[in-house]
Amino acid sequence: MSAIVQAQTQVVTDPKGFQLSPGNRRWILWSILLGFAALAFGVFQGFVQGLNYAGISLFTMLPGMKTYYEGLTAHGVLNAFIFTFAEANGWLSLTTARGLGQNLNSKLLALSFIFLLLGTVFAGIPIFAGKASVLYTFYPPLRAHWAFYFGIALAVVSTWIISAAQLLALSAWRKEHKGERIPLMAYVSIMTYIMWDISSLGAAAEDLFLLLPWSLNLLPGSDPLLSRVLFWYTGHQIVYYWLLPAYVSWYICIPRLVGGKLFSDSLARIAFIMFVVLVPVGFHHQYTDPGVGNYYKIAVLFLTFGIAFPSLLTAFSIMYALEIGGRANGGKGILGWFWKLPWSNPAVSAQVLAMIAFLPGGITGIMNASYNMNLLIHNTTFVPGHFHLTLGSAVTLSYFGIAYWLIPYLTGKELVLKGLARWQPWIYFLGILIFARGEISGGILGMPRRTAMAIINYDPLPGWKLAGALTGIGGTIMFIACVLFFLVIFFTLILGKPRETQEDIPFGETYLGAAPSGWQLVLDKLSYWVLLSFILIGLVYGPFLLTHLPPKLTAPPFQGF
């Protein structure tokens, strides 16, 4: 029993309880709601995009929508940037505060929310005005209105503000708890933002020093190759900024929700350390770029396979917790425990289904990172099929599950429409499997991504029509499931009854807790891992930057407005 208590106290500072301040509660809630509002607009555009592959052209009928690419840009920016930034800012602020047992600086949380809201407005207006149809990758020489780049910069700065709030809280905590291990809930939350701080530097530099001044005609032209390199330095790691907040819930909350226990505190920390260290893998998105040498492509090929390892550690840790919980509920045999999980709890079912969908998402990611396979599937629908199994399922479904207990926690209101909430994750799960099946099979057959398939003036290749139909059907089912989720959350906010008692965040226990001495102490030396990350970045990206700086600003803009 004493070992369990010791382990539990290392997950959070004070297991007995924590009082979230009104300021923290307010800005965390507003951040979460802003993210879901962005998702609502984004998934509608996604619904239209899915029907496009089925040969149904709705985007030409939408009021104010000028082109297919305007809708695709809105879908990508709102879902991949605003939704994920807002959810991570709110969710990991809460887990950091609960883990450390002290509230974050409410003024910084408010400032972060304001920056993200302004960023959404600045980026959104030119998108819907048809002046920023550059997709979420915004490659030059495609040029958007300056407000788009300014809005993206504000959104990124909002995440840095949250990281600053986390680190300030950690510094204060360490002064009061000298010699103690960082509580696991706070550790994984802070490491997620440290990873993102390092990873976001590439796209931030591209945006602030190349694209924004270029859009204001302060630079004579653009450097497409350098811009692509800087973008993809960030562009792959943003996947982990999407994913790691879900991992935080899987590691910390899911064991408690299913009645299990996490296997090892140290194993969880090592997984997050690997995500911090193995940052420089972006070149594998540029296997077909002629300006990138083989040294860089080969280096990141091995690093990309390496960064799959912490996800394997995560799979082991979470499966262990799930099996312990299922067997505690009466599960027998090799897989009998699986059916004994609390499937009637949508907070559990959504996240476990997210994990299952993430399995093919990870496998297709390894396929993308394989050089020869990448040459076949690059710029085909295989790619969005893959990342809809990651961002579109592992991340989004997990946030759905988190919201089913988090919104009641933050508002003090009971969840309504619980029957609908129980079915919603299953409907979404069915939709994503059909959608991804269509996209991936179409991609293997050469069906192009980022193409208005509904209005192409050439005959589709054999197999494209079936793949497109599956994409449209799956996307429609996903859209219906999202509408059901928004209904549950909306009516909870306006009709939910006050809760009689305030429940704590569901945090679990570990069998092997954080050791107070020995080699494991180095895991909490955050600066060591940051330094190691920058050394590896220098080895991979240093030679390229030395030979490509200063930038060659010679490419004239292509501007569609």
388 noted as active-site residue: yes
d(CA 21, CA 15): 17
236 noted as active-site residue: yes
The pLDDT, as a whole number, for residue 63 is 76
Write the pLDDT tens digit of every residue in 61-90: 887 777 899 999 999 999 999 999 999 999
Write the pLDDT tens digit of every residue in 41-52: 999 999 999 999
Write the pLDDT tens digit of every residue in 145-180: 999 999 999 999 999 999 999 999 999 999 999 989
Mean pLDDT check: name the lowest of 187-196, 470-479, 496-505: 496-505
pTM above threshold 0.75: yes
437 noted as active-site residue: no
Catalytic residue among 47, 68, 138, 240: 240
Catalytic residue among 98, 143, 228, 449: 449
CA 366-308-96 angle, to 5 degrees, is 135
Q: Are 510 and 265 in contact (CB under 8 A)?
A: yes
Q: Which residues contact 165 (CB under 8 A, 6 or more apart)?
A: 93, 96, 104, 105, 108, 109, 112
284 noted as active-site residue: no
Q: What percent of the chain has pLDDT over 90?
A: 88
Write the pLDDT tens digit of every residue in 244-275: 999 999 999 999 999 999 999 999 999 999 99
Catalytic residue among 81, 387, 429, 541: 387
Q: Is residue 8 part of a domain?
A: no
Q: Is residue 123 part of a domain?
A: yes
Catalytic residue among 386, 409, 435, 541: 386
The pLDDT, as a whole number, for residue 64 is 73
Give yes or no for residue 102 having a pLDDT over 80: yes
Rounded mean pLDDT of 535-547? 96
256 noted as active-site residue: no
Q: Is residue 216 part of a domain?
A: yes
d(CA 526, CA 506): 26
378 noted as active-site residue: no
Q: Is residue 553 part of a domain?
A: no
Rounded mean pLDDT of 445-462? 92
295 noted as active-site residue: no
Write the pLDDT tens digit of every residue in 517-539: 899 999 999 999 999 999 999 99
Domain ranges, residue 496 = 20-548
Q: Is residue 14 part of a domain?
A: no
**What SS3 state is found at 18?**
coil
Q: Is residue 13 part of a domain?
A: no
Distances (CA, A) of 254 to 81, 323, 406, 419: 26, 12, 13, 21
Mean pLDDT check: name the lowest of 93-102, 366-375, 419-428: 366-375
Q: Which candidate, 269, 271, 253, 255, places its Cα nearest to that of 323?
A: 255
pLDDT bucket at 139, cuts 50 / 70 / 90 = very high
| CATH number of the CATH domain containing 225 | 1.20.210.10
Write the pLDDT tens digit of every residue in 273-296: 999 999 999 999 999 998 999 999
Q: What percent of the chain has pLDDT over 70?
A: 98
Catalytic residue among 228, 236, 256, 285: 236
Instruction: Specify the number of domains making up the chain.
Output: 1
Catalytic residue among 450, 486, 499, 534: 450
Mean pLDDT of the chain: 94
Write the pLDDT tens digit of every residue in 326-374: 999 999 999 999 999 999 999 999 999 999 999 999 999 999 889 889 9
Q: Is residue 460 part of a domain?
A: yes
d(CA 330, CA 339): 10
pLDDT bucket at 17, cuts 50 / 70 / 90 = confident
Q: Is residue 171 part of a domain?
A: yes
What's the number of CA atoms in the CB half-sphere (13 Å) around residue 491? 11
d(CA 88, CA 399): 10
Catalytic residue among 68, 228, 388, 435: 388
